[in-house]
Amino acid sequence: MKDTNKVMLKKDKQTNFVKEYKNFALLYRINLKLSLKNVGSIISGILFAFVTIILFFVEFTEVIKSASLNNYATYKILTYSLSSSLLIFHILLNSLYLFKKQVSDGISSIELRAGYKTWKSYLIRVFIIFSTSLIYILITLLSVIILNLTSINDTVMIFSLHYSQVFFFGFLAFFSTLVLSTIMIMFKTSLATIFAMLYILMIALAPITASIKFMIINSENSNYKTNIKMIAGESFYQANSKNENLFNDDNGSGESKTITSIDNYIQEVLKPLEGKTDGGKVILPAENYFNGFDLKGVVKENALNDSYSFNYAKANHILTKNLGLGQVYYKYNVFNQNQELEQEFLLEKSPVWNILEPINKTVLEKTNSFTKSNSEKIPTLFVKTNKYYSNRFINSKNIDINTFIDELKQELPELYLFLNFIQKFYNEYKSIILSLNFANNGFAMYNDILDNALLNNSSYMPSKSLNYYSWKETWTEEEGQYNRNFSRNFCEVDKYNSFDNSEWYVCKENTDLIKHNNDMAKVYADIPELTILNQLIVSLWRMSMDFDTFRDNRESIDDSLYNYFNITVASNSLKTDIFRHFAAISTGLFSKPLTNDLYNVSSSGFYQGQFYNIKNIFEFENYSYQNKDLNAPMEPVYKNKQIKNRVVFIIPLAYFAYIVLISPLGYVGYFMFNRKSKL
């Protein structure tokens, strides 16, 4: 008998639950239909979806497809402010309709008299406000999916920007539903509307106004450049640490194989021109001219940017071609070819040559085995643009290296893993690296991460034509415009040497050597992907062997570390500055903290700071050549020390914290709704 009663009681409970659920669902559907037919709700929802989709499309074309990260943060804050305002306004109109108009029309009283409890009536209205907003948010999500399908290769960046923004709007809808519902219940219509409008303004403008103080003191966001340099160097070492020869730079005499051999090579190549000049400038530099593996620090002037005569032009030409433009397989012993040098190539005695030499030799000998779809194109990696100039005099191309790398793997299977690492690194960081070629001034000569040289894209030279892939020159003088006061041709010297009846053309015509250089120049022109690969190898190897930070030519390592510390302190303020939180979490949910930093540094209207910091960065300063003896061997920076990072602001944790903090407001709203329903 007792068992029978228990079964009956259980069935009654199940029946009551099903009945309660059906009643709840019925009332939910009725009110949802009424809300969806509300003119204000429809217009505001469509307006939100339409404006957001337009902004997404602009972001997609101007930022993602053009790989222009300089505009990323600007469009981010624009989308955040406009779309957030429209979404909250849509929620405001729904809140007014459900908590003010329906109450004044007596609909809520009818529900209560029909036996619906106040918590159901309240919960249904909150759900409807949230559900209605989600419908229009899902429309924007559909537009993002369509954009993503048209550009699968940009999925990572689309997730960081668009999908993260859609998720944020879902969170904002939940947050604002609880806030505005409580406001509507607690205050009269006019006062509630005023508070709601103030809430909209606060959400939309607070991040911008909170950033003003950082804009006034011109807070920098350059730490990410140092971070990626260090992470790239550590990753390169870890991926290749088993190849001990690659990281052995000691020549057996306590000196650097790389630095001493580079300096000796320049001295030997240019020694025959001692006493001659270029435009009245010195040709042969002093010994130890190249005193550290630091092209940016040594070569302050080169023919890529300067249109005047300067000292050591020929030495700088050799260094720039090899270390800054990825053209490493030229032989420059052209002035005294009867004398054999200790090395044919600039980097021949460097440990990294064991990687560079087989790659370049293979492509030269088997050039027909490689695709030439980018022949004569200049990679964007090596071209600078300037925001103060609208004209572009060099047609560069954002070249993909995947096909070339895959073909090279077939030819050099022993380098498969090495090439795979380079390929993965470039694909992950390409858009960030290329964005740094957009200079704020006309004087930037190097990329801030790879330190590769940049060809000035804003200088119009009517008397010269670009000859980028020549081993002898960058600019060729047009006929009739030749100025013999100085020449950019590596094989020529200026008129000041004519007094001793010397020749203008000082290269010795060694057929084999000149032919090799001309053939290699054609290879680089036909397969510019090879120059990108060479540059990546040189730069990544250097990052793993010599600690460096982002700094201009005037800064020392110590100065740049002090600057890094100051930026870190400024970035820490984001943790407690709640007015900047929503804008900070509106993108980047689905990307790494470091990547998110790279995307968000260009904003002039919102200061986010740097999420990712290296907390033990000062432990690496003694691995810089600036803090070593002259010509001291380089050594793997990350062999005995690993990077320890700290993430200042964790976006998923911020979402969780705000959801936990705002959820009790739902009970406050119910408490007030229940109280007023009994009056």
| Lowest-confidence pick of 124-133, 170-179, 504-513 | 504-513
> Across residues 122-142, what is the average pLDDT?
92
> Does 297 lie in the same domain as 149?
no
pLDDT for residue 648 is more than 70: yes
> Does 294 lie in the same domain as 393?
yes
Domain C-terminal end among 519, 545, 571: 545
| Nearest by Cα to 130 from 174, 64, 162 | 174
Return the higher-pLDDT residue of 63 and 554. Answer: 63
> Does 292 lie in the same domain as 393?
yes
The answer to whether residue 234 sits within a structural domain is no
pLDDT tier at 219, thresholds 50, 70, 90: low
| Lowest-confidence pick of 202-211, 232-241, 449-458, 558-567 | 449-458
> Across residues 488-517, what is the average pLDDT?
72
> Does 661 lie in the same domain as 528?
no
Place of tokens 């690659």: 246
pLDDT for residue 610 is more than 70: yes
> Does 418 lie in the same domain as 320?
yes
Across 415-432, b (16+ Cβ under 10 Å) vs e yields: beebbebbbebbeebbbb
What's the pLDDT at 551?
A: 82
> Does 289 lie in the same domain as 143?
no
| Lowest-confidence pick of 88-92, 264-268, 326-330, 461-465 | 461-465
**Tens digits of per-residue pLDDT, 351-379?**
999 999 999 999 999 999 999 999 999 99
**Tens digits of per-residue pLDDT, 271-308?**
988 888 887 788 889 888 998 898 988 888 888 876 67
Residue type, 358: P
pLDDT tier at 553, thresholds 50, 70, 90: low
The answer to whether residue 588 sits within a structural domain is no
Could you tell me the two tokens for 447?
């990329």
**Counted domains in the chain:** 2
Return the higher-pLDDT residue of 162 and 506. Answer: 162
Distance CA 328, CA 360 (A): 8
Distance CA 325, CA 381 (A): 9
pLDDT for residue 494 is more than 90: no
**Tens digits of per-residue pLDDT, 429-442?**
887 888 776 654 44
Query: Which of 199-208, 357-366, 664-673 has maximum average pLDDT?
Result: 357-366
Q: Global pTM?
A: 0.85
**Tens digits of per-residue pLDDT, 510-531?**
678 889 999 999 999 999 999 9
> Does 468 lie in the same domain as 322?
yes
673 within 8 A of 118, measured Cβ to Cβ: yes
The answer to whether residue 82 sits within a structural domain is yes
516 within 8 A of 197, measured Cβ to Cβ: no
Residue 648: phi and psi, rounded to 5, are: -70, -40
The answer to whether residue 423 sits within a structural domain is yes
* Share in percent of the chain as helix, strand, coil (round to 5): 60, 5, 35
> Across residues 38-61, what is the average pLDDT?
94
pLDDT for residue 485 is more than 60: no
| Lowest-confidence pick of 14-23, 132-141, 265-274, 465-474 | 14-23
> Does 468 lie in the same domain as 368?
yes
The mean predicted confidence, pLDDT, of the chain is: 85
Domain C-terminal end among 524, 545, 566: 545
- Write the DSSP string, 385-401: EETT-----S-EE----
> Does 165 lie in the same domain as 271?
no
> Does 409 lie in the same domain as 272?
yes
Share of the chain above pLDDT 90, in %: 49
> Does 154 lie in the same domain as 275?
no
Return the higher-pLDDT residue of 326 and 677. Answer: 326
The answer to whether residue 634 sits within a structural domain is no
What's the pLDDT at 440?
A: 46
The answer to whether residue 106 sits within a structural domain is yes
What's the pLDDT at 392?
A: 60
> Across residues 596-622, what is the average pLDDT?
82
pLDDT for residue 483 is more than 80: no
**Tens digits of per-residue pLDDT, 65-114?**
776 676 777 888 899 999 999 999 999 999 998 888 876 766 766 666 65
| Lowest-confidence pick of 210-214, 414-418, 577-581 | 210-214
pLDDT for residue 496 is more than 70: no
Q: What letter does residue 197 receive in the DSSP assignment? A: H
384 within 8 A of 304, measured Cβ to Cβ: no
| Lowest-confidence pick of 29-38, 216-225, 252-261, 635-644 | 216-225
Distance CA 84, CA 100 (A): 23
pLDDT tier at 505, thresholds 50, 70, 90: low
pLDDT for residue 261 is more than 70: yes
Please report, in angstroms and rounded to a whole number, the separation of the first and last CA atoms in the chain.
Answer: 47
What's the pLDDT at 100?
A: 84
**Tens digits of per-residue pLDDT, 143-188?**
999 999 998 877 878 888 899 999 999 999 999 999 999 999 999 9
Residue type, 115: G
> Does 183 lie in the same domain as 255?
no
The answer to whether residue 467 sits within a structural domain is yes
pLDDT for residue 453 is more than 80: yes
What's the pLDDT at 111?
A: 65
| Structural domain containing residue 450 | 250-545
pLDDT for residue 390 is more than 50: no
Domain C-terminal end among 512, 545, 578: 545
- Write the DSSP string, 269-322: HHGGGTT-EETTEE-SPPTTSS-SS-HHHH----TTT--S--TTHHHHHHHIII
The answer to whether residue 245 sits within a structural domain is no
pLDDT for residue 223 is more than 90: no
Distance CA 326, CA 468 (A): 12
Return the higher-pLDDT residue of 361 and 121. Answer: 361
pLDDT for residue 481 is more than 50: no
